Amino acid sequence: MDLRQFLMCLSLCTVCALSKPTEKKERVHHEPQLSDKPHDDAQNFDYDHDAFLGAEEAKTFDQLTPEESKERLGKIVSKIDGDKDGFVTVDELKDWIKFAQKRWIYEDVERQWKGHDLNEDGLVSWEEYKNATYGYILDDPDPDDGFNYKQMMMRDERRFKMADKDGDLIATKEEFTAFLHPEEYDYMKDIVVQETMEDIDKNADGFIDLEEYIGDMYSHDGNADEPEWVKTEREQFVEFRDKNRDGKMDKEETKDWILPSDYDHAEAEARHLVYESDQNKDGKLTKEEIVDKYDLFVGSQATDFGEALVRHDEF
Q: Find which of 67-81, 92-106, 172-186, 211-225 is predicted with most confidence, using mean pLDDT.
A: 172-186
- How confident is the model at residue 9, as a pLDDT? 42
pTM: 0.67
Asked whether residue 240 is assigned to any structural domain, the reply reads no
User: Which stretch of 17-21, 89-93, 118-122 has the lowest confidence by average pLDDT?
Assistant: 17-21
Asked whether residue 233 is assigned to any structural domain, the reply reads no
More reliable by pLDDT, 93 or 265 = 93
Asked whether residue 98 is assigned to any structural domain, the reply reads yes
- How many Å apart are CA 90 and CA 16, to the nearest integer? 45
Structural domain for 279, as ranges: 66-207+250-309
Asked whether residue 24 is assigned to any structural domain, the reply reads no
Q: What is the mean pLDDT of residues 45-62?
A: 75
Asked whether residue 60 is assigned to any structural domain, the reply reads no
- How confident is the model at residue 1, as a pLDDT? 45
More reliable by pLDDT, 22 or 255 = 255
Asked whether residue 238 is assigned to any structural domain, the reply reads no
Average pLDDT for the chain: 82
Q: What is the mean pLDDT of residues 124-150?
A: 78
Domain count, the chain: 1
Confidence of residue 14 (pLDDT cuts 50, 70, 90): very low
Q: What is the mean pLDDT of residues 113-124?
A: 93
- How confident is the model at residue 60, as a pLDDT? 62
- How confident is the model at residue 144, as a pLDDT? 64
Asked whether residue 11 is assigned to any structural domain, the reply reads no
Asked whether residue 163 is assigned to any structural domain, the reply reads yes
User: Which stretch of 3-7, 90-94, 208-212, 233-237 has the lowest confidence by average pLDDT?
Assistant: 3-7
